[in-house]
Structure 1
Amino acid sequence: MSGKSRMMAMGWKMLAVILVVVLSVTTFHSNDVQAQDVWGIMKEARKLDEQGKYAEAINKYKQTLPEFEQTKQYGNLAQMYRSIGDDYVKLVNFDLAVVNYDKEAEYSAKANQTQISIAAKRKADMLRSNAQLFIETNAETVGAANTHGARFEPKNGALLGAYAELDPKVHNAQNSKPFYSDAFPEMTGKKHAAYLLYFKYGDSFSKLKTHIEYARKNGTALEIGLQPLKGLSEVNDNDYLRMLAKDVAEAGIPIFLRFANEMNGDWVPWHNDGPKAYIEKFRLVSKVFHEEAPDNVVMVWAPDRLPDYNIQDYYPGDDAVDWVGVSLYTIFNPSTDPLKQGEDRSSHVEKFDQIYKLYAARKPVFISEGGVAYMYPEKKQDKTDWAVYKTKEFYASLPMLYPRVKAVFWFDSNHDSTNRIKYYMLSANQKLLDAYKTSISNPFYLSSIGDESPIAYKPINNQSVGASVQKVSAYVKTWSATLSKVVYEIGGKPVAAVAQLPWTASINFAPYKGKKIDIVIKAYNQNKLITTQKVSVTVK
């Protein structure tokens, strides 16, 4: 290569280096300016918020999203979505608020801000509106689709149960006059299939003699909460455990043995032993009872609904568990109201969702104890109307949403735990008692082991429906704590209006034979339209 050529080549190389440097500086400067603009835009958005110009503030916040997304600043991104969601709440556009709170939950999780993500998801769920439609049908058309073939499990329907030993209206422990299995059905208007009792590990089974006798007399089962109050170390395969299992077998009545329940919560002494020890002891107890009482005992594994992050850590295995239960309580709590209006917008029935999704395909599941409190204990405020609605919604919706629920136990007591009284006692609140009586009158709820529900429910969202008169019911979830009316429309015309849960109406689908139609559901509270939802169906 000539000297001139070498010089030219060196010149080009130097020019290339200069260009790289210039471009690098330019790019850095551009990003720096862009970053400065992002914080400036955020400042402008905050100022617009202070002025009440929420729509304009939303547009400003949205301008920051691409930069935070590109640079993977997920914490800042989550904050922007939260601000957008909050502004949509102020504009009373809850559907768009939900979209942004869901995004906040997504990106705060990516930023490892777990608690913020959980709170954002909770906000979104409380404001989320949706509707699901169901057709009431003969249970024979469903067949065995909702059964596992487990002992004592109804093919369709849920056994009614209760804990009633502490309700003085229905039980006198001194003279058994009245006795709960006699008086509780009289008070509620329907025979219950089973009753919950608590039994301390180490005690003699003879302490339950009277309960066993009344269970035999009234044809009821018992759910026995076997509690190792001294910790799991006292549970061993020894003479005591073997004799206890033989005594249970000799009792001859159906028994749901719920060993060391709510193990996932730190309020029970056996929680401190940890998941590994718990699983070991549960499997041991299950083995002994399956050997000594194979005909009349089923082993129940029953965590509390909360905390939910560690529930699966305690599962002992399908071979050791016959039924899965859960403690499911709702006490009025306005602290999480995303609208800050002092309401509890949570859904009692949807609190069952996680356990159902985890285990209903494998085992019969049930609410082993639970209820809705009629008082806000911290403020001593009466919340009867709210509790009545939540109770009716729960019992009306459960058969539709969770058809593999096979038993439901109400905790009929006003008990004091850690100085916080829980108000579930039906005899102490006539409105709640009336709501319970109305709710359990549904034939889906069964009075004896061996009974079967004559009815079942089929979802029809995006499904087909017969071209005839059909009994349609709905589960409608909205941001409103309660609803008072649901109107059904087809083709822009009202076809039914209902004022009682579960919003059941007889609708004639014959005029729409062979068509795909939209059923519009309009939900109201005190004549205020809360949400409009649409469900598509094909009419056969």
Structure 2
Amino acid sequence: MRKIVLVAACLLLGIVAYWGQQRWQNASLAITTLAAESDPPNSTLTWWSTQIDSAVEKQEWRLAADYTSRKAAFYRDKNELSQADTLEQLSRQYADKEPDKLLMQSASESAAISTDSHVTLEAYVSVPAAPHAQLAKFEPVTGVYLGMLGADKRVAFNWKQIEPVYGRTHAMYLTYVGWRKVQTQTNSYFPIQQADNVKAMGGSLQIGWEPRYGLDDVLDDEYVRTFAKEAKASGIPVFLRYASEMNGAWVPWYGDPVKYIEKFQLIHKIMKEEAPNVVMVWSPNFMPMDNIDAYYPGDDYVDWIGYSLYAIDGPQSASDDKSGFLQSFRPLSEAYPNKPIMISESGVSHYNLIKNESYERWAEDQLGDLYAYLPRLYPRVKAITYFNFSKERAVRSNMEAVYDLGENAFADRLYQRLIQSDFYLSQVKEQAQTKENIMYKPLTQASRSSVQGKHKVFTYVSMPHSDQPFAVGYSQAGKQLSISHELPWEVDLDFAKLDPAQPLTITAYSRSMEKLAEQQVPLPK
């Protein structure tokens, strides 16, 4: 009898606890929804509200706390204190369920950041695009092709799931083909089944074609010719990344640049004869840099330059400066100026399997570098493919880093927001371009004639410790013109209404709206 009473009591307590949790969640949702309904018309606020609702539903409490804290800071800056207080209380409730030390940063820590002399602000302005003198095969006039591997937990190689999961159709889908491997589903050398799936989605295929038996096995033979003919028959753009990362000792085609160049030129010759829809992509790894050029086959044999570009180690020390990721790319971007560049593999690790360490907020900032900054700072970058690889697959493959966006809620939401920009393209075609057909250049290098009327302005912010500000404001002569609360800190400014004799003041703010850094930029005269 006592057992029955105890079981009944436990069951009752469980029901009460569940009811209490549901009641608390429903109340939280009600507060969030109420706040969203009273939001002023602002796309950033709408985005934050949507992410809060989604995070609460999925019980991603740190994410819910972070976005709610952002809204609270926004309303406090507007002096809407009641709304701000309500949101701050809700943010603390979310944070208590899954503490995030970033949200608990003290005022003294914030002040320490604000006095750091290494914070730099660089303003860029949109100007009418000046297309390259001669576009390469399938090179867009403006914009960046979106690409993805799709080996993450949610997509699981079903590329049709990429759009519903990430909210945007991608233009390029990455796969790998082993040398002389027969595709058993179609009894072919070329991945016909994958090509058919991509064709149905209006996409293109990026193929990592890997001569796993070494360069001596690369011949003008039935295998290569058949592969080329099947590629042509696919009827889609094919970006052929033959023998990539050749500058790294981890691949069997490393170590003999002369033979590598000979074989690359051979493959180019065959594809030119058999498959005009194939784009030859020469794709070294971004490290080591000192031996890359030795493998270059020559401008006549390369359509696109590709780079594998990863951020994998996490913040190395308290003095770690996130600008290194972007600055290290500069020599690569300038090495082959006649060719468009694709980031043929890219990944930002948010978890280290060997060290059992997570650094998802650092990864969020690195992803911002990759998708918000890199193609705007380096206009020859015309495609980015994310190596979306699940933790489970990483464990099975004895990998150290986890790149799956879906397993890092912060990076996942940032990726979904950044790729909505018109700057990114969802279809590969000749003469592709963005709706606005613009590019960016440093405001200090723009001419007065090129910035008449309304233009987009963004600020590249470089801070220590992989940080980013909460907001970036733009003002002139003490009058605030606009403020942005999301990467890449982009706003629309009407230069016709600005005084060309007065500099543009750019200010980076912390979440408490304290000044982190300020820069005055002279306007074009």
Which stretch shifts more, 253-262 or 519-528?
519-528
CA–CA separation in structure 1 for the residues paired with 2:113 and 2:177:
54
CA–CA separation in structure 2 for the residues paired with 1:212 and 1:303:
25
Identical aligned pairs, as a percentage?
34
Q: 1:332 to 1:490 in 2, by over 3 A?
A: farther
Q: 1:219 to 1:510 in 2, by over 3 A?
A: closer
- Check the 8 A contact 1:468/1:508 in 2, yes or no: yes
Work out which of the residue numbers 523, 532, 540 in structure 1 matches 2:508: 523
Within a 5 Å distance, the mapping from 1:444-455 to structure 2 comes to: 444-450=423-429, 451-455=432-436
Aligned to 2:63: none
- Check the 8 A contact 1:147/1:156 in 2, yes or no: no
Q: Name the SS for the 1:538 alignment partner.
A: coil
1:366 is aligned to 2:342: yes
Letter in 1 for 2:142: N
Aligned to 2:313: 332
Aligned to 1:315: 296
1:482 is aligned to 2:467: yes
How much has 1:275 moved relative to structure 2?
Answer: 1.1
What are the Cα deviations for residues 259-301 of structure 1, in whole angstroms up to 9, with x where unaligned? 11001111111113x21111111111111111111x2101000
- Check the 8 A contact 2:238/2:277 in 1, yes or no: yes
Aligned to 1:398: 374
Letter in 2 for 1:393: D
Q: Name the SS for the 1:433 alignment partner.
A: helix
Letter in 1 for 2:410: K
Q: Which runs of 4+ in 1 moved over 6 A?
A: 90-94
Q: 1:486 to 1:320 in 2, by over 3 A?
A: same
1:463 is aligned to 2:443: no
Aligned to 1:290: 272
Aligned to 1:150: 136
TM-score (norm 1): 0.68
CA–CA separation in structure 2 for the residues paired with 1:491 and 1:312:
49
Aligned to 1:12: none
Q: Name the SS for the 1:537 alignment partner.
A: coil
- Check the 8 A contact 2:210/2:242 in 1, yes or no: yes
Q: 1:537 to 1:296 in 2, by over 3 A?
A: same
Q: Name the SS for the 2:309 alignment partner.
A: strand
What are the Cα deviations for residues 234-283 of structure 1, in whole angstroms up to 9, with x where unaligned? 111222222222222222221011111001111111113x2111111111
What are the Cα deviations for residues 109-136 of structure 1, in whole angstroms up to 9, with x where unaligned? xxxxxxxxxxxxxxxxxx5x54332233
What are the Cα deviations for residues 442-493 of structure 1, in whole angstroms up to 9, with x where unaligned? 1111111124211323322243354645432111223342222223232355
Within a 5 Å distance, the mapping from 1:104-119 to structure 2 comes to: none
Aligned to 1:230: 213
How much has 1:91 moved relative to structure 2?
Answer: 13
What are the Cα deviations for residues 202-233 of structure 1, in whole angstroms up to 9, with x where unaligned? 12352623212212211211111110111111
How much has 1:525 moved relative to structure 2?
Answer: 3.8
Aligned to 1:303: 284
Aligned to 1:118: none
Which stretch shifts more, 419-428 or 401-410?
419-428
Aligned to 1:136: 126
Work out which of the residue numbers 415, 418, 421 in structure 2 matches 1:439: 418
Aligned to 1:533: 519
Q: 1:322 to 1:416 in 2, by over 3 A?
A: farther
- Check the 8 A contact 1:147/1:364 in 2, yes or no: no
How much has 1:94 moved relative to structure 2?
Answer: 6.4
Provide the aligned C-alpha RMSD in A.
Answer: 2.6
Work out which of the residue numbers 169, 179, 201 in structure 2 matches 1:191: 169
Q: 1:222 to 1:243 in 2, by over 3 A?
A: same
Work out which of the residue numbers 260, 263, 267 in structure 1 matches 2:250: 267
- Check the 8 A contact 1:374/1:383 in 2, yes or no: yes
**Any gaps of 5 or more consecutive residues in structure 2?**
1-111
Q: Name the SS for the 1:334 alignment partner.
A: coil
Aligned to 1:103: none
- Check the 8 A contact 2:169/2:426 in 1, yes or no: yes
Aligned to 2:78: none
Work out which of the residue numbers 156, 178, 193 in structure 2 matches 1:200: 178
TM-score (norm 2): 0.70
Letter in 1 for 2:367: T
Which stretch shifts more, 422-431 or 310-319?
422-431
CA–CA separation in structure 2 for the residues paired with 1:229 and 1:416:
23
Work out which of the residue numbers 230, 250, 257 in structure 2 matches 1:247: 230
How much has 1:497 moved relative to structure 2?
Answer: 3.0
Aligned to 1:71: none
Work out which of the residue numbers 491, 500, 503 in structure 1 matches 2:486: 500
CA–CA separation in structure 2 for the residues paired with 1:511 and 1:324:
42
CA–CA separation in structure 1 for the residues paired with 2:401 and 2:518:
36
- Check the 8 A contact 1:332/1:375 in 2, yes or no: no
Q: Name the SS for the 2:466 alignment partner.
A: coil
What are the Cα deviations for residues 17-59 of structure 1, in whole angstroms up to 9, with x where unaligned? xxxxxxxxxxxxxxxxxxxxxxxxxxxxxxxxxxxxxxxxxxx
Aligned to 1:353: 330
Q: 1:432 to 1:372 in 2, by over 3 A?
A: same
CA–CA separation in structure 1 for the residues paired with 2:292 and 2:340:
17
Which stretch shifts more, 319-328 or 464-473?
464-473
The number of equivalent residue pairs is 398
What are the Cα deviations for residues 48-88 of structure 1, in whole angstroms up to 9, with x where unaligned? xxxxxxxxxxxxxxxxxxxxxxxxxxxxxxxxxxxxxxxxx
How much has 1:315 moved relative to structure 2?
Answer: 0.5
How much has 1:427 moved relative to structure 2?
Answer: 2.7
- Check the 8 A contact 1:265/1:271 in 2, yes or no: yes
What are the Cα deviations for residues 335-364 of structure 1, in whole angstroms up to 9, with x where unaligned? 3x4x45xx56354444432221112x2111
CA–CA separation in structure 2 for the residues paired with 1:416 and 1:271:
26
Q: Which protein has greater RCO, CA pairs closer than 8 Å, 6+ apart?
A: 2
Q: Name the SS for the 2:299 alignment partner.
A: coil
Which stretch shifts more, 421-430 or 325-334?
421-430
**Any gaps of 5 or more consecutive residues in structure 1?**
1-89, 96-126, 173-178
How much has 1:312 moved relative to structure 2?
Answer: 0.8
CA–CA separation in structure 2 for the residues paired with 1:269 and 1:92:
49
CA–CA separation in structure 1 for the residues paired with 2:307 and 2:521:
32
